[in-house]
A and B are shown apart, each in its own frame.
Chain A
Amino acid sequence: MSRLGVFVCHCGENIGATVDVTEVAERCKHMPGVAHAEDYKYLCSNPGQNKIKQAIEEHQLDGVVVAACSPRMHEPTFRRAVTDAGLNAYMCEVANLREHCSWVHEKADSTTEKAIDLVRLQVEKVKRNKPLDTIQVPITRSALVIGGGIAGIQAALDIADSGHKVIMVERSPALGGHMAQLSETFPTLDCSQCILTPRMVDVSRHPNITLLTYSEVEHVEGFIGNFKVAIRKRARMVDEDLCTGCGECLQKCPTKNVADSFNEGLSMRRAIYVPFAQAVPNIPVIDTENCRKFQGKKCDRCAKACPTKAIKFDQKDQIINVEVGAIVVATGYQVMGTERFPEYGYGTYPDVITGLQFERYASASGPTQGVIKRPSDGKEPETVVFLACSGSRDAAKGVKYCSKICCMYTAKHAMLLKHKNHHAKAYVFYMDIRSAGKNYDEFVRRAIEEDGVKYIRGRVSRIYEEDGKLIVKGADTLLGGEPVEIKADMVVLASAALPNHGQGELAQKLHVGTDPYGFVAEAHPKLRPVETTSAGIFLAGACQSPRDIPETVGQASAAAAKVTALLSRSHLAREPLVAEVNRKPAPQFSDCTGCLLCETACPYQAIGHEEIKDRNGNVLKTVAKINPGLCQGCGTCVSLCRTKAIDLHGYSNEQIFAEIMSL
């Protein structure tokens, strides 16, 4: 027979006003198995908790029901109190008399009766509770960072500096992401490469960082503290250990007409290439789709030119398996291409370009060494029109959201144009100017007031070519919608920032959620902004939604702090409310018949199977096996199991049946 204690809380007047608390305590005394019952003003207070502890000792209680507010509020408090008195934490249950009874019903006998029912239900449950111990899961003290843009770089450096090992996976041949493509950065106009390059070098030299470029995540399994990741390191056809980065091979390659994606297609590169001069690592890649050798022709000029024999045409992709305790997703974004805009010529007018292409022209290391030219004839444009919100805030044709960075970089672009060519005319069509941020509005004002950039509030309805000019037709909504027509030499679209390509597949591999647009979803938009919906997986940067560099870096450091806190422990404590497959003596071994329906239904891949063998190694039976480290305790397998071989600790069939029967 159990010796249970029931403690009924008045919660000041919160419960007492509609429920006759003394009556509840009195009636509980007569419930079978209850050895002690009392009521108190505030059980969650220190004296209240002490009352529970004293009663446990005095009456030698082996289980406790606290009838008070919602267990979602104070269950941990009361569980801690009973452990202080020597009971197992899971021998305490909470009956919800406040949120589910006193606050939602009028003062009446039926309300007090309901309160008594709610306590009886928990009394019957606790009788069937078993002491449980928290599960200790060991933590692999290293992290994986996916994406080598500024977000990934910052997160990796912070984690590595705190003494943990980091594996960084970047799918392109070099680090840097979009920041490496930028010319100068708002709001200070400092050179992007100058502030980024040292960081890239730090990553490559850091003793705690293993850098895998030209690599992608192939497969992920496991859970917080214990992820197993398979990484595909694609064949560069260049031996990274032998290559010295001398660049001899690059000059010899006869294929010279591949669109250079780092320069956003504004220049050509060879089939063997380094994405940009300051690339980290400074090791070339053979683009096998364009290399003559891989197209079945005879050519080995790069191999001949290589002084260290580093070119390996027979190199194969490699699968690298790593174990990490935490993952940071920092996969960034992509921009909408000009071909997505029918009214601006579907990408057929060469002089309608994206903001990212403008960055390459403006960059000192770009295709024109920083001279702003136009693609069609290489002339310096005199009149340039910038279209903010191209595709953003346009539910019908583009995306619904604001891309956030465009207002600022459009002001920057117009400013850079004026700085480089004082006679040039810069027009900006905009919907609203969104320039909230430290020194941001001042920056936009400078463009307008000091550099004389003309801002026109309105949309552009059409662009067409005429006599070597682009005719931009729009309306000025501040002048009552008066039509505006500008003869421009070049048009720059501040096109929407989109989730990066491949983001969906990666999210699926990681089991992290995405928002309706396809960006990585945060666990809570306000309180858990750098965590994903999967424990142990964090996010940083523009993969969450469009953002600028300062915000990206701040968030990357925040994600790194979360990772560091996780990795600073050797073990992780988990609630023991997990499912288990029953075991019985031979010859039955278990009620499980090995149908393994549960294995496919489990959302966490926590269920596998094991073979029960005799002494000679013959398989006698196959039964399901649940990994308590992976199980999250949803109970789906329990209700699915045809033979009731699985039960869930804390919510067992016996416990729930007893609850039903108590009513």
Chain B
Amino acid sequence: MADEAFEPKITAFVCNWCTYAGADLTGTSRLKYQSNIRIIRLPCTGRVDFMLIQKAFARGSDGVIVSGCHPNDCHYTSGNYHARRRWMVFNDLMEFMGLDMRRVTFSWVSAAEGAKWATLVNEVTDHLRELGPYTEYQRLLNAGVA
């Protein structure tokens, strides 16, 4: 049950060239979104290692966003393809381990999509607020699964 005062904690891993810049544009366009999110800047989504996502959950995040350039626009030409391929493998594995995959959002936000970033963050925040705190993860941790 989602409790009234619950505010989800969200960690975002974004690439420097597209989504970080896109989120900058959200700012310069003065578009508002909910303040639950904390952005960690990485060079490219290719750098997103699934240990990072696990670490974020272990530290108490209720949700994680991974966002980078659109498929053909990666600054490093193919980093996001590697990320996507890895993501597909990871997705199955994590599901198998019992991780709640509704809490991980993979998205593309370009440097021109300031509005898309605001919408994405709001949608994810609302969704996580409905899902409630991710206490289940600590149980998985204690059981030595995650």
Contacts and interface: CB of A to CB of B under 8 A. Distances in A.
Contact of A633 (B38, B43, B55, B61): B43
Interface stretch (A234-242, A463-471, A651-659): A651-659
A638 B107 CA distance: 21
Contacts of B33: 104-105
B38 A118 contact: yes
A639 B48 contact: yes
A656 B13 CA distance: 10
A629 to B, nearest CB: 16
B40 A660 contact: yes
A106 B32 contact: yes
B23 A636 contact: no
In the complex, which of the residues B7, B16, B41, B78 has the most CB atoms of chain A within 10 Å of its own CB atom? B41
Given A104-B118, A660-B59, A661-B55, A70 B47 contact: no
Contact of B23 (A99, A601, A604): A99
A657 B9 CA distance: 17
A70 B24 contact: yes
In the complex, which of the residues B7, B50, B59 has the most CB atoms of chain A within 10 Å of its own CB atom? B59
A656 B21 contact: no
B82 A636 contact: yes
Contacts of A636: 44, 46-47, 76, 78-79, 82-83
Interface string B133-146: 00000000000000
A640 B85 CA distance: 11
Interface stretch (A109-117, A410-418, A434-442, A537-545): A109-117
B40 A659 contact: yes
Nearest to B54: A660
A635 interface: yes
Given A639-B49, A640-B82, A663 B28 contact: no
Contacts of B32: 104-106
A29 B50 CA distance: 34
B24 A634 contact: no
B43 A577 contact: yes
A116 to B, nearest CB: 11
The B contact surface, by secondary structure, is: mixed
B40 A656 contact: yes
Nearest to B40: A659
Nearest to B55: A660
The A contact surface, by secondary structure, is: helix
Contact of B47 (A108, A118, A638, A661): A638
B24 A121 contact: no
Interface string A62-79: 000000001110000000
B11 interface: yes
Interface in A513-541: none
A651 B42 contact: yes
A635 B44 contact: yes
Contact of B28 (A99, A632, A633): A99
A100 interface: yes
In the complex, which of the residues B21, B24, B32 has the most CB atoms of chain A within 10 Å of its own CB atom? B24
Given A100-B39, A651-B43, A603 B55 contact: no
Contact of A70 (B27, B51, B52, B83): B27
A595 to B, nearest CB: 15
A563 interface: no
Contact of A72 (B9, B24, B52, B118): B24
Interface in A55-100: 70-72, 96, 98-100
A559 interface: no
Interface residues of A, number: 41
In the complex, which of the residues A98, A105, A601, A635 has the most CB atoms of chain B within 10 Å of its own CB atom? A635
Contacts of B9: 663
Given A639-B48, A661-B55, A108 B76 contact: no
A100 B46 contact: no
Contacts of A640: 82, 86
Nearest to B39: A100
A160 to B, nearest CB: 32
Contact of A603 (B11, B31, B42, B78): B78
Interface in B103-128: 118
A411 B66 CA distance: 56
A109 to B, nearest CB: 10
A101 interface: yes
B27 A634 contact: no
A648 interface: yes
Contact of A114 (B23, B38, B50): B38
B65 to A, nearest CB: 13
A121 B35 CA distance: 16
Nearest to A650: B43
B93 to A, nearest CB: 14
B47 A104 contact: no
A100 B27 contact: yes
A103 interface: yes
B26 interface: yes
Contacts of B38: 114, 117-118, 121, 663
Contacts of A96: 24, 39
Contacts of A98: 27
Nearest to A118: B38
Given A72-B24, A603-B79, A634-B79, A639 B56 contact: no
A635 B52 contact: no
A656 B44 contact: no
Interface string A583-610: 0000000000000000001011000000
B44 A121 contact: no
B36 to A, nearest CB: 8
Interface string B85-108: 010000000000000000000000
A634 B80 CA distance: 10
Contact of A601 (B24, B75, B82): B82
Given A104-B118, A603-B77, A634-B79, A661 B43 contact: no
Contacts of A111: 35
A601 B59 CA distance: 30
A603 B76 contact: yes
Contacts of A121: 38, 40
Nearest to A577: B43
Contacts of A651: 42-43, 47
A103 B33 CA distance: 10
Contacts of A663: 9, 11, 38, 59, 61
A100 B23 contact: yes
B115 to A, nearest CB: 12
Nearest to B61: A663
A418 B46 CA distance: 63
B43 A648 contact: yes
B40 A635 contact: no
Interface in A224-274: none
A385 B137 CA distance: 77
Contacts of B35: 101, 104-105, 108, 110-111, 114
16 contacts: A99-B23, A99-B24, A104-B30, A105-B32, A110-B35, A118-B38, A634-B47, A635-B79, A636-B46, A636-B82, A639-B82, A648-B47, A651-B43, A660-B55, A661-B59, A663-B59
7 closest A-B pairs by beta carbon, nearest first, are A635-B47, A99-B27, A636-B46, A634-B76, A639-B49, A103-B27, A99-B24
